[in-house]
């Protein structure tokens, strides 16, 4: 059995580790740079942090949980679920925390990966899996003066819970998925809240609900009840992804629903106009929230639609106006385009992954890169979704990796790599489909500066699961 090294400890790393352990692999180790298991659900502790795909679907299919406190679980419960699952399946003792992988080099003679850690130690494994996520490195905008501010300032993904925010004038930069979750909570504490919005989002009502004793009892005792909840939301999400095809009927319906939601919640015409997106639905992530719009109508909450041009010692300047504040929360997203860039990964012929991906990351099925044998990427390029559960995608990837390793074992192979032809063919097909999707003609964080759309999968999750379930041996070279 090969030795396996996995970088990370979020949903992706756990999906791969558990699937391989269940398949009889035993030599598995995980490296996690942080001090504990959990990925984004360890790092994003902002008030109101919750998943925006119902928990019955945003959880492992092999580990259903009947105790979710609400349909959209909050961050502490998701983190507890992840850690409990890691312990139950024997992953926890295999995780080395405080272990930042900085380099990995493929040793062709031994068909092994030499993995370098930040503390100078080196590990060797036969198979290397990167599960570092797409949204694990917070990004701050390049605004002049950003370091000059003398008040409280932090990124929403690294929330400073010790910061005395009550009664303060607070600015929030950004109105994306995280911001709309914490803005209502911050508004309860701030004396004045200024929200700086560059681009408004389409926001749908969130069909949330607390799961009281009755619900939880039904999930526990009625056979198939939780599974039905999972399948219902899976089917809705699959339909939802059709809305991301250019000019689709589903897209027009989603748009109409979102704009009606806005009209019902925001009576003030000027505010409503400022919150109305002017781009096709789906270009940016479609959001679900019930309290964001009402919060924006509160008297001490203001919306600034001009771009922030400068940060000063005491506030922010937008459109020539200086706004004095005590605290700034940057909800400015993640460094999503520079896949795996914190590590120096060297494949055959001393080729660097960073060079192979200079004009945007690409990988066969989102996982395999030609010239990088025995190397898999979980949540890799073109496996993000505009709607739907990433956990579902990660499980499909874990099963695929298991199948590749099974074939290696059965055939007595020491290494496997995708062929360039297969990888190119796949990439052309994906890019062609993406160009005809809504993302094909709008700007978003899904697009690399080169123009390639590197984040998203251009279909629904079933198509991806099917594509990864069929292992085509001729697409790989087995040595
Ligand atoms: C606030 C937030 C909410 C989200 N909500 C949803 C949702 O509702 N539905 C959905 O489908 N998706 C959601 N996502 C997307 C989310 O990224 C995925 O669902 C999923 O959690 C990704 O898991 P992962 O294991 O691939 O990556 P991550 O959870 O990002 O884990 C990566 C891990 O790798 C570690 N790591 C990184 N680099 C190194 C290194 N060099 N060495 C060692 N360790 C390293 C990190 O510390 C981290 O623990 C959300 C993301 C965020 C940020």
> Can you give the three-state secondary structure of 119-163, one letter per residue?
CCCEEEECEEEECCCCCCCECCCCCCCCCCCCCEEEEHHHCCCCC
3-state secondary structure of 83: helix
The verdict on the CB of residue 464 being under 6 Å from ligand 1 is: no
Q: Say which residue the tokens 């055939």 belong to.
A: 411
**Atom number, ligand 1, closest to the C-alpha of residue 178:** 1
The Cα 353–Cα 105 span in angstroms is 10
Give yes or no for a contact between 105 and 346, defined as CB atoms under 8 angstroms apart.
Answer: yes
The backbone region for 390, taken as left when phi is positive above 0, alpha when psi lies in -120 to 50, beta otherwise, is alpha
Q: By the 8 A CB rule, do 208 and 315 touch?
A: no
Q: What crossing angle do the helices spanning 390-411 and 11-22 adopt, rounded to 10°?
A: 40
CA distances to 49, 84, 289, 315, 468 from 79, in Å: 11, 9, 21, 35, 28
Mutate to test the pocket of ligand 1, among 136, 384, 395 (most ligand atoms within 8 A of CB): 136
Determine if ligand 1 sits within 6 Å of the CB of residue 331.
no
Partnered with residue 196 across adjacent β-strands are 173, 304
Helices (H), 347-387: 353-356
Distance (Å) from CA 132 to ligand 1 centroid = 7
444 CA to centre of ligand 1 in angstroms: 19
180 ligand 1 Cβ < 6 A: no
Radius of gyration of the chain (CA): 23
User: Which residues face 115 on adjacent strands?
Assistant: 104, 123
176: Cβ below 6 Å to ligand 1? no
The tens digit of pLDDT for each residue in 373-383 reads 999 999 999 99
If one residue of 15, 17, 133 were mutated to test the ligand 1 pocket, choosing by the most ligand atoms within 8 A of its CB, it would be: 133
Kindly give the distance from the C-alpha atom of residue 326 to the centroid of ligand 1, in angstroms, as a whole number: 31
Q: Is 45 in the pocket of ligand 1 (CB under 6 A)?
A: no
Q: Is 58 in the pocket of ligand 1 (CB under 6 A)?
A: yes
State the first-to-last Cα distance of the chain, in angstroms, to the nearest integer.
Answer: 16
pLDDT at 287: 94
List, for the chain, all residue ranges whose pLDDT scores fall below the cut of 70: 243, 245-247
Hey, which of 43, 99, 135, 354 would you mutate to test ligand 1's pocket, going by the most ligand atoms within 8 Å of its Cβ?
A: 135
- Cα four-point dihedral sign 353, 354, 356, 360: positive
- The three-state secondary structure class of 368 is strand
Q: How far apart are CA 201 and CA 399, in angstroms?
A: 35
Q: What values do phi and psi take at 251, rounded to 5?
A: -60, -45
Return the ∠ at Cα 434 (arms to 231 and 178), rounded to 5°. 60
Q: Which of 405, 393, 267, 382 is nearest to 336 (CA)?
A: 382
Which of 77, 85, 132, 354 maximizes ligand 1 atoms within 8 Å of its Cβ, making it the mutation to test the pocket?
132
Instruction: Spell out the residues 6+ positions from residue 188 whose beta carbon is closer than 8 angstroms to its own.
Output: none
7, 14, 39, 156, best to mutate for ligand 1 pocket (most atoms within 8 Å of CB): 39
Find out whether 157 and 402 touch, Cβ atoms under 8 Å.
no
User: Does the C-beta of 330 come closer than 6 Å to ligand 1?
Assistant: no
- Return the pLDDT at 440: 81
d(CA 334, CA 140): 8
Residue 134 Cα to ligand 1 middle (Å): 6
Single out the residue of 434, 72, 103, 112 nearest to residue 282, CA to CA: 434
Question: Which ligand 1 atom sits nearest the alpha carbon of residue 40?
Answer: 29
How many Å lie between the centroid of ligand 1 and the Cα of residue 194?
29
- Distance (Å, whole) CA 234 – CA 228: 10
Distance from Cα 16 to the centre of ligand 1, integer Å:
14
DSSP 259: H
Residue 419 tokens, joined? 């062929």
**Residue nearest atom 17 of ligand 1, based on CA coordinates:** 135
What pLDDT does 377 receive?
Answer: 98
pLDDT at 442: 80
Ligand 1 atom at shortest distance from the alpha carbon of 38: 49
343 lines ligand 1 (CB under 6 A): yes
Ligand 1 contacts CB of residue 59 (under 6 A): no
31 ligand 1 Cβ < 6 A? yes
Report how far Cα 66 is from the mean position of its chain's Cα atoms: 24
d(CA 250, CA 281): 10
- Expressed in angstroms and rounded, the spacing between residue 390 Cα and the centre of ligand 1 is 10
Report pLDDT for 282: 83
């Amino acid at each position: 059995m090969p030795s396996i090294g996995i970088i990370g400890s979020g949903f992706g790393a756990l999906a791969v580790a558990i699937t391989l352990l269940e398949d009889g692999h035993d030599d598995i180790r995980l490296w996690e740079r942080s001090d504990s298991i959990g990925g984004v659900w360890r790092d994003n502790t902002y008030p109101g942090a919750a998943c925006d795909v119902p928990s019955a679907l945003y959880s492992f299919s092999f580990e259903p949980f009947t105790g979710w406190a609400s349909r959209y679980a909050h961050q502490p419960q998701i983190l507890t679920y992840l850690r409990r699952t890691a312990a139950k399946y024997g992953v926890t003792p295999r995780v080395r925390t405080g272990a930042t992988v900085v380099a990995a080099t493929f040793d062709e003679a031994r068909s092994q990966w030499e993995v370098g850690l930040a503390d100078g130690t080196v590990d060797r494994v036969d198979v290397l899996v990167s599960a570092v996520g797409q949204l694990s490195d917070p990004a701050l905008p390049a605004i002049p003066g950003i370091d000059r501010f003398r008040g409280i300032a932090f990124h929403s993904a690294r929330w400073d819970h010790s910061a005395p925010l009550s009664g303060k004038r607070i600015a929030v930069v950004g109105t994306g998925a995280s911001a709309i979750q914490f803005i209502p909570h911050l508004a309860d504490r701030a004396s004045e809240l200024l929200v700086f919005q560059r681009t408004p989002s389409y926001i749908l009502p969130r069909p949330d609900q607390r799961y009281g004793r009755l619900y939880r009892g039904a999930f526990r005792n009625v056979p198939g009840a939780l599974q039905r909840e999972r399948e219902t939301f899976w089917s809705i999400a699959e339909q939802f992804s059709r809305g991301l095809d250019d000019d689709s009927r589903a897209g027009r319906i989603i748009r109409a629903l979102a704009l009606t939601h806005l009209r019902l919640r925001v009576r003030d015409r000027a505010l409503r106009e400022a919150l109305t997106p002017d781009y096709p639905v789906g270009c940016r992530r479609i959001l679900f929230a019930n309290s964001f719009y009402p919060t924006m109508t509160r008297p001490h909450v203001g919306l600034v639609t001009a771009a922030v041009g400068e940060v000063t010692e005491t506030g922010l300047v937008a459109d020539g106006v200086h706004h004095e504040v005590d605290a700034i929360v940057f909800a400015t997203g993640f460094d999503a385009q520079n896949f795996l860039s914190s590590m120096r990964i060297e494949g055959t012929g001393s080729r660097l992954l960073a060079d192979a991906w200079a004009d945007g990351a690409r990988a066969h099925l989102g996982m395999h890169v030609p010239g990088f044998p025995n190397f898999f990427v979980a949540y890799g390029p073109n496996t993000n979704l505009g709607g739907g559960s990433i956990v579902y995608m990660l499980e499909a990837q874990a099963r695929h990796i298991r199948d590749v390793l099974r074939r290696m074992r059965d055939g007595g192979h020491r290494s496997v790599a995708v062929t360039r032809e297969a990888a190119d063919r796949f990439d052309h097909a994906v890019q062609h489909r993406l160009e005809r999707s809504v993302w094909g003609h709008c700007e978003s964080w899904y697009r690399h500066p080169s123009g390639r759309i590197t984040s998203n999968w251009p279909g629904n999750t079933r198509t991806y699961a099917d594509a990864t379930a069929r292992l085509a041996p001729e697409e790989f070279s087995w040595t």
